[in-house]
Chain A
Amino acid sequence: MTTKQLEHLDRVVIRFAGDSGDGMQITGQQFTNTAALLGNDLATFPDYPAEIRAPAGTLPGVSGFQVHFASDDIYTPGDAPDVLVAMNPAALKVNLKDLPKSGILILDTDEFSKRNLKMAGYETNPIEDGSLAGYRLFAVPLTSRTETALASFENLTVKEKRRCKNFYALGMTYWLFSRSMDATIEGLKERFKKKPQYAEANTVAMKAGYAYCDASEEFQVRYEVPPAPTKPGTYRNISGNEALAIGLVAAAGRAGVPLFYGSYPITPASDILQYLAGYKNFDVTTFQAEDEIAAVGSAIGASFGGAIGVTGSSGPGIALKGEAIGLAVMVELPLVIVNVQRAGPSTGMPTKTEQADLLQAVCGRNGESPLVVLASSTPSNCFHMAFEAVRIATKYMVPVILLSDGYLANGAEPWLLPEHIEELADVRISFHTDPKDFKPYRRDAATLARAWVKPGTPGLEHRIGGLEKQDQTGNVSYDAANHQKMVQLRQEKVQRVVADVPDLKVYGPDRGKLLVIGWGSTFGAIHSAVRLAQADGLKVAQAHLHHLNPFPANLAELLGRYDRVLCPEMNTGQLRMLLRARYLVDVQGLNKIEGQPFRVREVLTRIQEMA
């Protein structure tokens, strides 16, 4: 046995790719958990097809999971993989273009049959025709080796044995990056509590993959990515959808008011409904409605009843909810609307990410229908913004749209957990009960919020509805002057939320040549690019908006401190349009509408052109 070399690396990006049925998501998640436990900073990005199981071996059936882990801070799942694990020719075909030459490529030679090659559109076998020259290729018969390793498992069918090949590949990557297999072994035991033979088989397959690399002459170098110097505290790896669900529960729990989540299944928002359905013991009610309209309707009904009404969907569903959201604006009830955006228009690309629903959120209803718009920037930030959405909606008696997207929803990162409940903001809700001089539309002097009255309160019986309200009494009114007054009051109320919006901070010089401003999930790519540009000595700063309506109070002044402003967005320039309209600043765009997040170098190149 030869002595293997050990090399230190600061950061590595691995992409696992295979058929939808090959278990690539699980493989990637296992690798992620291990990296997290080792103390690496990390970010992940799953990329899977909309079809549940497209025909095996075809290009549309390819599912991928990318994990970026490092010994210092990282903010994105990485522009391009350093290591590509491709379980079949289709996975190679789809992903090879992203792998730089000199990248590590692990292939399962057993899957490179004539039939599979043809399905992937290869005329000749790329393993044999020299087209992979330049890559550090490890062509291994993963399937047959897995089968051999599991020869003694008489209680498993051949098919079941073959299915363990993803853990064989995982074992290889563990060896390659000097990782312990312990956490995965424990995880498998937990996952297959009822079928211990599966846990054992996958463990054996993984160990076989590890041992193979250890013994093989082919693998001469292994790598080590030391832990990142992170802030002390307790961490967990969290996806945006799970963080968002927990944020809603935390805010309702802090307020001591029941949470009601009415939703209709839609990619990529369904997880939120599924998570919340498991939190019934937190005084959470979930309601899978018959359609998107009923979902928001039920949430409005629950809010009328004194619960925190929340509905969640993605763009097409939000379009359907528009009229009901307008009702919530009119009756001034708290309502949180979560939009996990996906690539549109229409059905678009359900599993691909985009941030093209900003104007829909700000403007997408009939009449003058202002509401609060928030956006989360990272997976763990979804927790904080969901919490804020509930706090603002209940404080101001106003609907709040919270924008997330597919990239945040399914991506994951370590989350530094709050240790004490007191670290979370107060959510104070008081229901009005005093019948003396009660008027349904009398307002709080500071917030302009009307009182929240629970039906069942004696002496406060009143009627609300979507017809224009008379100021104070809430009676139906078609009076001309009253309408103008009410439209302005509703607008003014949303504007007053600015008191709860922190001033926008910049990362970098507080004045100078270039400000890069963004919102939502582009945070990581913009931040990484700005850091690189700053390291190169460019006078560039970053500001990232979490409050899209109203904007932070200092935004106008801040925009004025820089010669130029760049706004990268995964749309054709929606925030840019709002900023230009509102502040008369000549904001420049960088607009990517590919259903994929920005790469750091795409943003960096544009910064270099402008700074």
Chain B
Amino acid sequence: MSPEAPVLDKKHFESDQQVRWCPGCGDYAILSSMTKAFAEIGVPREKIAIVSGIGCAARFPYYVNTYGFHTIHGRAPAIATGLKVARPDLHVWVVGGDGDILSIGGNHFLHALRRNVTLKILCFDNRIYGLTKGQTSPTSEYGKVTKTTPMGSLDRPVNPISLAIAAEATFVARTADKWNDHFRQVILAAAAHEGSAFVQILQNCVVFNEDSWEPVVGREERDEHALYLEHGKPLRFGRDREKGIRLDGSEPEVVTVGEGGVTEADLVVHDEKDEALAYLLSRLDLPRFPMPVGIFRRVEGFVPLEKGIARQREEAMKKKGKGDVMKLIHSGETWTVNG
């Protein structure tokens, strides 16, 4: 950073608009952590663009003093792709809820990830439709009773992490709204990643789905139920980190270190570059397993879309020279009629 660059703080990124989420909504914590993170990332605010779809989460850009675009339901990744390709110099973030990103926007989510366009896609996942007042969402549990599923939802939920990995995402992570420090680490890592980054944020909807993630996120149970992923470290969890994940063939199992001859050496060691492991970990869930959180997958070295496009353009310029409109008009077989 150049010496004259101003030191950025959280306030610098707060807009003058009144925040209109329900009191107690997890989005407040996310907003606070994000403005802090932006200050820490250090990119000047005019270089940041936040693109969102529709839903409670999608109001996010109004509250951050950067460039922002609150678009239409589900389409934020597509619109952000156009923006990033046209303006590779910008830092483009996409914000949406589980309905926005995974239901109506599922197609765009899949393709933004496989194209590896440098977007940071944040999915505020509260497992419910909030802005429309409480209908089942694509991440709602099977059997969930909501206003539209009075006898229980018959749809099996989508697993956003598995889906992202299957879609060739080069950065896939999970964190939670109120985990300030964990959230910060995941967001900073996502920001530093070249290529598409997907972050599922376990978020609490205080009105329509209160405490849905509490067994994983809450202070009481998180040590037992959250498995913190760290690259190069064995998979351990539990109040005293006494438990771990071991593979029996390709089947994961929960073991206790020190019991039945199990040592730390028997545990799976996390490797962010191992795609098969990332997928396997994405399948772990309560009640049989703890829920893994942190960075599932992070691989570098794939050319992001915006760079590939810029390169091809430069290559064409080099090969054909900068385009001359009159020459283009006069190309092909022409003939002249004399006066």
A18 CB, min distance to chain B CBs, angstroms: 24
**Contact across chains for A291 and B107 when beta carbons are under 8 A apart:** yes
Interface residues of B (CB under 8 A from A): 15, 17, 44-47, 49, 51, 54, 61-62, 65-72, 75, 78-87, 89-90, 107-108, 110-111, 309, 312-313, 315-317, 319-323, 325-326, 328-339
Is A466 interfacial (CB 8 A cutoff)?
yes
**Contact across chains for B81 and A235 when beta carbons are under 8 A apart:** no
Given the known interface contacts A297-B71, A467-B70, the answer about A249 and B325 at a Cβ–Cβ threshold of 8 Å is: yes
Query: Out of A250, A283, A305, A458, which one reaches B46, CB within 8 Å?
Result: A458
Q: In residues 240-262 of chain A, which contact B (Cβ within 8 Å)?
A: 246, 249-250, 253-254, 258, 260, 262
Secondary structure of the A side of the interface? mixed
A237 to chain B: closest residue by CB: B333
| Chain A residues, Cβ within 8 Å of B337 | 39, 230-233, 235
**Contact across chains for A300 and B82 when beta carbons are under 8 A apart:** yes
Query: Out of B54, B89, B321, B333, which one reaches A456, CB within 8 Å?
Result: B89
Query: Out of B17, B44, B62, B322, which one reaches A281, CB within 8 Å?
Result: B322
CA A33 – CA B333 in complex, angstroms?
8
**Contact across chains for A232 and B339 when beta carbons are under 8 A apart:** yes
Q: In residues 408-433 of chain A, which contact B (Cβ within 8 Å)?
A: 417-421, 424
**Contact across chains for B85 and A464 when beta carbons are under 8 A apart:** no
**Contact across chains for B313 and A294 when beta carbons are under 8 A apart:** no
CA A253 – CA B51 in complex, angstroms?
28
| Chain A residues, Cβ within 8 Å of B313 | 280-281, 283-285
B44 to chain A: closest residue by CB: A458
Q: In residues 367-423 of chain A, which contact B (Cβ within 8 Å)?
A: 383, 417-421
**Contact across chains for A460 and B78 when beta carbons are under 8 A apart:** no
CA A514 – CA B333 in complex, angstroms?
41
CA A334 – CA B288 in complex, angstroms?
53
**Contact across chains for A306 and B86 when beta carbons are under 8 A apart:** yes
**Contact across chains for B325 and A462 when beta carbons are under 8 A apart:** no
Is A158 interfacial (CB 8 A cutoff)?
no
A469 CB, min distance to chain B CBs, angstroms: 11
**Contact across chains for B333 and A234 when beta carbons are under 8 A apart:** no
Given the known interface contacts A300-B79, A302-B82, the answer about A455 and B325 at a Cβ–Cβ threshold of 8 Å is: no
Q: In residues 88-138 of chain A, which contact B (Cβ within 8 Å)?
A: none
**Contact across chains for A250 and B62 when beta carbons are under 8 A apart:** no
CA A233 – CA B44 in complex, angstroms?
54
Interface residues of A (CB under 8 A from B): 33, 36-37, 39, 183, 230-238, 246, 249-250, 253-254, 258, 260, 262, 279-285, 287, 289-291, 293-294, 297-302, 304-307, 309, 323-324, 326-327, 331, 383, 417-421, 424, 454-467, 475-476
**Contact across chains for B87 and A456 when beta carbons are under 8 A apart:** yes
CA A293 – CA B313 in complex, angstroms?
25
- Interface-centre pick from B17, B67, B70, B78 (highest chain A CB count, 10 A): B78
- Interface-centre pick from B68, B315, B322, B326 (highest chain A CB count, 10 A): B326
| Chain B residues, Cβ within 8 Å of A298 | 78-79, 81-82, 85
Given the known interface contacts A39-B335, A230-B337, A456-B89, the answer about A283 and B323 at a Cβ–Cβ threshold of 8 Å is: yes
**Contact across chains for A36 and B323 when beta carbons are under 8 A apart:** no
Given the known interface contacts A280-B316, A417-B334, the answer about A289 and B78 at a Cβ–Cβ threshold of 8 Å is: yes
| Chain B residues, Cβ within 8 Å of A463 | 15, 17, 61-62, 67-70
Given contacts A294-B75, A455-B47, A459-B46, 10 further A-B contacts (CB under 8 A): A250-B329, A281-B316, A282-B328, A287-B309, A290-B78, A290-B111, A301-B83, A421-B326, A455-B67, A456-B67
CA A489 – CA B55 in complex, angstroms?
27
CA A74 – CA B323 in complex, angstroms?
33
